Amino acid sequence: MGDLITDAVEGTLYYVPRSEIARIVGLKIDPVKRTEAFATLARLNTLYMVARAGSGHLGGSFSSLDVLAWLHLEEMDDNDVYFSSKGHDAPGWYATVIGLGRIAEDNLHKLRRLGGLPGHPDVGFPGIVTNTGSLGMGISKAKGMVVARRLQGKPGRIFVTTGDGELQEGQIWESLGSAANHHMDELTVIVDHNKLQSDTLVKNVSDLGDVAAKFAAFGWHVERIDGNDMVQVAQTFRKLQTVTGKPKVIIADTIKGKGVSLMEHTAMESDVEYYRFHSGAPDGGTYRTAAQELIARVNAQLTEMGVPPVAFETVEAPTRAAPPAGVQRLVGAYSAALLEHAGKLHNLVALDADLILDTGLIPFKNAYGERFIECGIAEQDMVSQAGGMALNGLLPVVHSFACFLSARPNEQIYNNATERTHIVYVGSLAGVVPGGPGHSHQAVRDIAAMKGCPELAMIAPCTEAEVAMAVQWALTRTSRNAYVRLESVPWSVPFALPADYRLELGKGCVLTEGTDAALFAYGPVMLSQAHAAAALLKAQGIGLKVIDLPWLNRVDAIWLADVVADVRRVFTLDNHYIEGGQGETILAAMAENGIAIPATRFGLEDIPCCGTNDEVLGAHGLDAQSLVRRITQVLGF
């Protein structure tokens, strides 16, 4: 989690080709030394992939790469399976399997691109055995694999890495008991205990206490090692081959960012609160310093062994357009709005699940530290805590990414709703873009998942100004629960809301006039596509009335009848699956109110692709050009 920052690296990028890695892998030398050299090369290629993609998780890829390299080079056989439960460390795994020639080498250049390497693991890609990226599911999935293999009489072991912050997820502990009860010694979990989670040190977010004692209490065989010491890694896996009757866990103490001095968390200045290399690409200078250190290290390693140095390839970083001027930053606007209201609403508390940076809570925490409750990666606990707070006089505002917030604590949100308390849920990173992290992070079913919670109104603002209105409404104009859906990606919008626009329940506003058709949308991304489509259609003589309706599950019937009275077709455009999205609400309201205008829904019809924002919008037919094509087709022009 923590996956928003997209940086641009310029200049020359370095990678090591498969052929050179194959040469190292083929060396008849001490396996420990060989694997160390391999891990350094994998780090260089990981760095290259993330720098080129502009996003991705370096810190956790680096911390786990020594274990990963040993597993793949020395420990596992063809019957064994490896996957990462958190999935954030996918770049490190890609570098490993590309290095071993298991997937095509040109994938090195395609991280987080359409048709390339998914941002988080997806079974559509060769060698990936399960989809991860949302935390805490991996051990359960591995257990399912063990059950299947046992029933089928198939041999083999399952190796799963988890993060340490990930251990805050209840599902981890929910999954441990039956693995022990069923003596699943086929299963080895490696906790990449790099001491940092998305935002900062695990101990500052939600201290794990004695991790080894916890696993032992759940009946697991526990080893604790320095996970960046290849000798210990090698010895421990060898030892575990003889441990039977119990599932096994290796608590691997590692260093986040391991291998690049300036990225190692142990190099953090003591007064720096937040670690910089959890996700996102480094800047150009940092990239080159890091690459040079890795190149120097591997060549020193090779020279020491009397082996010729590695030949690197270079490539110029793809040029990236500078972000357009005047972008709308909804999360920033949210930060400001929350801060403003917090000054007046003294019972307001903000709850976070290890996404303080991405959900815009740092200003609030700095100003109202006592009223900031960091819950760690524990969404169910966070939401139920909010329930208890609301019952006792507080006004809780609950934050996470929309994909996690709507689904992970889904029943807990409903339970709170049945208490008729006032709680505000704020889900950021909503919608299909950014497309880089992939479908585990693309929140495109949150509207559906949140439906049917009594008196829960959902609002998706499209501009910074509308964010302020939405926050004001949720905090002061309702006494029940509300969901504010924030698209996080900074977006340049070609429209402005009418000067006299005020947020009213179930009503929206018209952004462009037209009588051939009306198109309802919400949020900056889709309204921008719609607005651009309207301009293109206008040039063809087609009038498209684009309507911002920020209410996702509420429509005022009178307003609706009025706003579509002069059009002959209605379109809806969801930044969400069509099923369960806003379009469903609007179309149902039309039928219910006798508005007999033919209607067509646009939105996601299948699992969202991973890629750049433009690639993803285009692939799903949701960019302005596609909308023009689809609208003219429906209208029969």
CA distance 163 to 176: 15
Q: Does 172 bind a copy of itself (CB under 8 A)?
A: yes
Q: Does 591 bind a copy of itself (CB under 8 A)?
A: yes
Q: Does 168 bind a copy of itself (CB under 8 A)?
A: yes
Instruction: Tell me how far, at minimum, the Cβ of 236 lies from a copy of itself, in Å.
Output: 22
Q: What Å distances lie between residue 461 and 430, 524, 526, CA to CA?
A: 11, 8, 11
Q: Does 452 bind a copy of itself (CB under 8 A)?
A: yes
By DSSP bridging, strand 158-163 and strand 221-226 are unpaired
By DSSP bridging, strand 372-374 and strand 81-84 are unpaired
Task: Give the nearer residue to a copy of itself in terms of CB position, either 95 or 443.
Answer: 443
Q: Does 148 bind a copy of itself (CB under 8 A)?
A: yes
Q: Candidates 151, 321, 325, 539: give the one binding a copy of itself (CB under 8 A).
A: 151
Query: Which of positions 485-544 make contact with a copy of itself (CB under 8 A)?
Result: none
Q: Phi then psi for 627, rounded to 5 degrees?
A: -65, -40
User: Given phi > 0 = left and psi -120 to 50 = alpha, else beta, which region is 125?
Assistant: beta
Query: Which of positions 93-122 make contact with a copy of itself (CB under 8 A)?
Result: 122
Query: What's the N-to-C CA distance of the chain in angstroms?
Result: 45
Q: Candidates 10, 105, 504, 579: give the one binding a copy of itself (CB under 8 A).
A: 579
CA distance 257 to 269: 14
Single out the segment in contact with a copy of itself by CB under 8 A; choices: 101-109, 175-183, 228-236, 269-277. Answer: 175-183
Task: Give the nearer residue to a copy of itself in terms of CB position, either 338 or 456.
Answer: 456
CB 579 within 8 A of CB 558: no
DSSP alpha helix (H) spans, 460-556: 464-472, 523-539
DSSP alpha helix (H) spans, 210-329: 211-217, 230-240, 284-304
Task: Give the nearer residue to a copy of itself in terms of CB position, either 168 or 301.
Answer: 168
Each residue 367-406 as x (binds a copy of itself by CB under 8 A) or -, in order, gives ---xx-x-xx-x-xxxxxxxxxxxxxxx-x------xx--
Query: Which of positions 321-360 make contact with a copy of itself (CB under 8 A)?
Result: 349
Q: Candidates 265, 276, 445, 620: give the one binding a copy of itself (CB under 8 A).
A: 445
Single out the segment in contact with a copy of itself by CB under 8 A; choices: 63-71, 236-244, 581-589, 611-619. Answer: 581-589
Structure tokens at 311: 């030949």
Instruction: Tell me how far, at minimum, the Cβ of 338 lies from a copy of itself, in Å.
Output: 17
Structure tokens at 229: 């010491």
Q: Candidates 5, 114, 262, 607: give the one binding a copy of itself (CB under 8 A).
A: 607
Task: Give the nearer residue to a copy of itself in terms of CB position, either 125 or 274.
Answer: 125
Task: Give the nearer residue to a copy of itself in terms of CB position, either 417 or 509.
Answer: 417
CA distance 536 to 529: 11
DSSP string spanning 385-408? HHHHHHHTT-EEEEEEEHHHHHHT
Task: Give the nearer residue to a copy of itself in terms of CB position, either 449 or 544.
Answer: 449
Q: Candidates 175, 188, 335, 400: give the one binding a copy of itself (CB under 8 A).
A: 175
Q: Does 296 bind a copy of itself (CB under 8 A)?
A: no
Three-state secondary structure readout of 416-457: HHCCCCCCEEEEECECCCCCCCCCCCCECCHHHHHCCCCCCE
Instruction: Tell me how far, at minimum, the Cβ of 155 lies from a copy of itself, in Å.
Output: 13
Instruction: Tell me how far, at minimum, the Cβ of 590 lies from a copy of itself, in Å.
Output: 5
Judged by CB under 8 A, the number of residues near a copy of itself is 116
Instruction: Tell me how far, at minimum, the Cβ of 569 lies from a copy of itself, in Å.
Output: 10
Give me Rg for the CA atoms of the chain.
Answer: 26
By DSSP bridging, strand 12-15 and strand 313-316 are antiparallel
CB 612 within 8 A of CB 435: yes
Q: Does 187 bind a copy of itself (CB under 8 A)?
A: no
Q: Does 481 bind a copy of itself (CB under 8 A)?
A: no
Instruction: Tell me how far, at minimum, the Cβ of 334 lies from a copy of itself, in Å.
Output: 23
